[in-house]
Structure 1
């Protein structure tokens, strides 16, 4: 493998990729800006969301929070509300905290140095590299799953991408391909090639600009790369909720930040024994999170008096709300779906 890589014209491959990108790169609204704030927001939104699904969320978020100061001064609940539908709500909380960091540590100006960007809450090596290269011209590869896949296939490289040294290994490989002073365009080209052409399954090798240089393609071994040995087994978890209501009023409470669904609102997870006679229908739903398979049981508890609802809310610190007002709160997806379909 190494002999083949050493004989490859790395820079030529990088330049060929850039030529393809200039013609076929996706026309995305945030590519017309070098504003690090907007690039930061879009990178966080699109890490787990397809571009076409996330664009409206991006526009809505930027419209409501057009700059760092506006985001930093917003309330947690409102930030979560504008993140609604994207999932991974901890990312919204991290954006909020990082905006406050920038206001305090950098006088409200987005930091330029890669090392400083990396210190922001919720910002990893990939995001810091993307912002640094696109906005400030830093020669740093924004290595993510697209990079691993493209580079592994182009060089038929069997370096295990689950290895702790994979990021550094593929960063060094990408640097040899990266043309001078075009780091941002190179990183965006790799993102587009990985997303649109060099897909995990059913890659479009026949239209790939690098197919003549791709060893895996020419060896007929595309599906053998990238190599990944470690697979995290999902954890099975069972949760129980009680939809406690009187008429159209029901109880909710905001979660803490020590487990899943940080700062989102939920129903009670326990009820007094005196409520057991009012438990009615039960709905069970399955929900998948990263590395977790959830089975969620939701029991409907119809109380006969408003006093019982008020007393329980006061004793246990719950908020009383209704369906209309609950739309201004952010709930985990299974509970949000439950509210949409409730009688």
Structure 2
């Protein structure tokens, strides 16, 4: 049985946080992307998303490589495939032995114009582009810090105990060391030996869509979590941007940012719990964010109310109190200085490790 070993949540093409190729797409070019698996196996298959494409995207050729071995991808037995408009393309399974913690390289060649590319804005690792068909791995001349079209890598691990982390930039890994795989999803995978699937999108909101930061959480949950093969647990850490975006006028990408109440956030959590069905749903309290650009009197009040509901309602199957674990002992509204990336909002590598440890204790 195939199960997800790595995932990235698709986003609408946009300018993103850093320069990227999503709006221009690809034409007579190859794309090389590197991802780190959290489960091993003897066979691999790859999923590509064209969720935000208005026309089909032709993949002229593809390959996947790991540990010095490379295998050409096929699609229903053919060397080329097509991602349907607003759909996905799944490769055939290929023989390629991989281990948990190993990186795999996925290379695609597009011989016709793709148009704007469904992508994941913040990869915190490097992707590469070059002219012509470069499946051999040489000739890439440009780099980007995003993933394009690539949405999942699955292995024949047969495991059914995968954990999905559903959230915003904290889950996505903002503040971790780029290229080092030090997100809290990576840390949790290394501590548990289970597949851990990252379903975070930087800037994502629980209740409202954003052209920059993805579909609202209650809308994308089915695609980004429930459709993942082999998952039995989801950790929900989302809602801080709903509360905090309305506190600043300095970031135009935060707009529109409706002012939301604790009750509305709670209603969003209840909708996720309802959608999750038989999955184990662990609620995480929102991290302290005092002193950040998300902080304000109203944000403080609403976040305190939301966290108290998560702790005490009994509606989640389990609770991990990240707010208390990550708080400054001298000021519980602020992120502990030893874990703070520097913006009083995101942890760094060590802080993400502490978050992973806290989840391990409640599994």
Report the TM range for the smaller structure's normalisation.
under 0.3
Which of structures 1 and 2 has the bigger CA Rg?
1
User: Normalising by structure 1, what TM-score?
Assistant: 0.24
More helix by share: 1
User: Normalising by structure 2, what TM-score?
Assistant: 0.23
More strand by share: 2
